[in-house]
Amino acid sequence: MVAFDKCETRPANIDAILNGLDRYNPETTTVFQDYVVQQCEDRTFDCYANLALLKLYQFNPHLTQPDTVTNVLVKALTVFPSPAFSLCLSLLPAHTQPFPTTQEAQAASQTSDFVESVQKLSRLSTLLESAQYTQFWSTLNSDDLYADLTADVAGFEELVRIRIAVEVGKAFRSITTESLEQWLDLRNREALEKFVTDVCGWKVDGTAVSVPTNKENEARSEVKSERVGVDMFGRVIRRGFEQTA
């Protein structure tokens, strides 16, 4: 699995901006915004470029485009459990945070559609990070706003399913199809088997799915031995024979 902060498909012009002084130039926001659109379309993710854009928004609030910010957050969801979402969220204004601390922030959070969007996406992130996959899909399907927020990100649901499967593969050697149906939101048996076999490379056997052994789910016994010599307790033994004053 490629690290979340690596992007092999980063265009040369974006790389040049990130490695030069232009990354602090407000005029480059349009370039980064177009690059976000590209990421949404071709299913790539460039964390450093997106963070650079959010930092520009932080320095130049008047340039902020809410739709671009939410697209960045949605893209970050597709690479959980990396810290990408938290890093992006930390660069947004205080009043957009899931738990505003000041009265001004709380007042602002109650009157902004943008803040509502950020907080809804934060809710999805929390569910994914805490492995509440069934609740994640239930929440995602519970409000049309979620569909609007993820509409620009091609293959969003599939990308999330792949990440969930990766995490499941780290923890299980065998799992029931019923559990996978809920965790992947694939209620159709044919669709589930196709995803499990074609995408994950796992084997379906009746009501169970077998996950190949990997370095994460392999059962390993750990034997610890301690070598304790008498000399290590020499001082304690000597004190036992010492006369009290």
Q: Where are the domains of the chain?
A: 12-154, 157-218
DSSP code string of 80-114: TTSTHHHHHHHTS-GGGSSS--SHHHHHHHTS-HH
Question: What does the alpha-carbon distance between residue 222 and residue 118 come to, in Å, rounded to a whole number?
Answer: 44
Domain over 157-218 is classified CATH 1.20.1250: no
Class in CATH terms, 12-154: mainly alpha
Is 226's pLDDT higher than 80?
Answer: no
Question: Residue 2 pLDDT > 50, yes or no?
Answer: no
Asked if residue 110 has pLDDT above 70, the reply is no
pLDDT beyond 60 at 123: yes
Q: What is the dihedral of CA 197, 202, 205, 209, to 10 degrees?
A: -120
Q: pLDDT higher for 28 or 218?
A: 28
Residue 242 pLDDT greater than 90, yes or no: no
At residue 214, does pLDDT exceed 90?
Answer: no
Q: What is the pLDDT of residue 230?
A: 63
pLDDT in tens, 135-193: 999 999 999 999 999 999 999 999 999 999 999 999 898 999 999 999 999 988 899 99
pTM of the model: 0.83
Contact 187, 211 (CB under 8 A): no
